[in-house]
Amino acid sequence: MPGLLLALALLPLAAADGGAAHGDFDRFLAAYRAADAAARGELARSFVERQRERGGFPIVEPGGQVVFLYVGAGGERAVHLLGDFATRSPQDMYWDAEGEPMTRAAPDGGLFFARRQLEEDARIEYQFLVDGERRTDALNPRTAPSGIARIGALETVSAFVMPGYPARPELAPRQGVARGEVRILDAVWADPAVAIYLPASYDAAKRYPVLYTADGSAWRELIGLPAILDNLIADGRIEPLVAVMIDAAEERQRWYTFNPDYLAYLERVVAFVDDHHATDPRPERRLHAGTSAGGRAALYAGFERPHLFGNLALLSPALSGPPSYWQPWFSGARRPEPRLRVWLSAGSYEGTLREDARTMATYFRKAGVETKAVFTHEGHTFGAWRNLVPAMLEHFFPGSP
């Protein structure tokens, strides 16, 4: 079997444009398999360093093929790929706990790989399962907080975007941008917790539109709504607004499933905000936004309280619930307020939820409701929702750049 020098000689030169040349990984794999066991470690290290300079990991090949690579110590028994592309079922967005087995490159090595076909503008989140232990991709520095990788756990996962995925510089806090103030509502009745964002230019003599969100803590900490608002307002992309971020109750699913208690609490929060802040109280100047089950709650509020909310943003809405609630709406016995405006989104890695969102968009349009639907190649993740927030806000509250 050839040794290290011959194996290295089999590898191609780096592409002049810094991109991945067709077959680079396959040529490396052939050299790796041809080398003796003692040479493989150095061969893998050389390939990894070169790929880091050229494009990083995972490796994007021509035509949308993506190679996920795990480089271990050699004693691993099995490595599996977990991620948005392998959920427990089309109806369940949580990741399959076993994932997909990765291929061992050589019988006595610690190199494992898997190939996936991804869309040119896809964004996915993933992990490796190494002998039963979950790990992020050590070769990929990009990570994200995930609430969908595992039931009952918020954990760090690896994040990956294809070359066509749009950059979003407005998401991160920027130096030199005036920051709004976030106040936690200090009232005995404020349970679940309520946080109120006031723009840096807040003036009590003016009247501001108001954004209300379900899952308030997630919008603050995982989506990063305050920084997004600061940047968009500073750039003139949206008008200054007040944002009210309302946490979920302890039993989140019950709280967000057509629950009259949710509506009653929402009404109390709206009344307080209007009484204590410079808001525009017209429904067309209020927006209720929610993700997943929070999107279902926002839809419920728009259906049942049109005098409060004239705008709805439903990001990957989980439209499950008792048929008895849906029946009068889809039979025509009840109809949504025609002045309602709806923005909704879903990703191609969200199973049947994507088709439910399409159905909902069709329903609203047939009912005469102004509707914008956005469909991406992403999963059921905070990262996906975070990237959609700027466009959603510009849709409802456009500014004057």
Determine the Cα–Cα distance for residues 7 and 46; give it in Å rounded to an integer.
11
Beta-carbon contacts of 95 under 8 Å, excluding residues fewer than 6 positions away, are 82, 83, 84, 86, 87, 88, 148, 149, 150
Distance CA(166)–CA(390), nearest Å, equals 12
Say what the pLDDT of residue 13 is.
33
Closest CA to 51 of 36, 66, 73, 34: 66
- pLDDT for residue 152: 83
The amino acid that residue 13 corresponds to is L
Calculated CA dihedral for residues 122, 125, 129, 133, nearest 10 degrees: 170
Q: Return the pLDDT at 151.
A: 87
Which amino acid, residue 90?
Answer: P
**The whole model's pTM is what?**
0.91
> Quick check: 348 and 84 in contact, CB under 8 A?
no
pLDDT tens by residue, 17-29: 334 444 789 999 9
What would the pLDDT profile of 327-363 be if each residue is shown by its tens digit?
A: 999 999 999 999 999 999 999 999 999 999 999 999 9
Given a cut of 70, the residues of the chain with pLDDT beneath it are: 1-22, 401
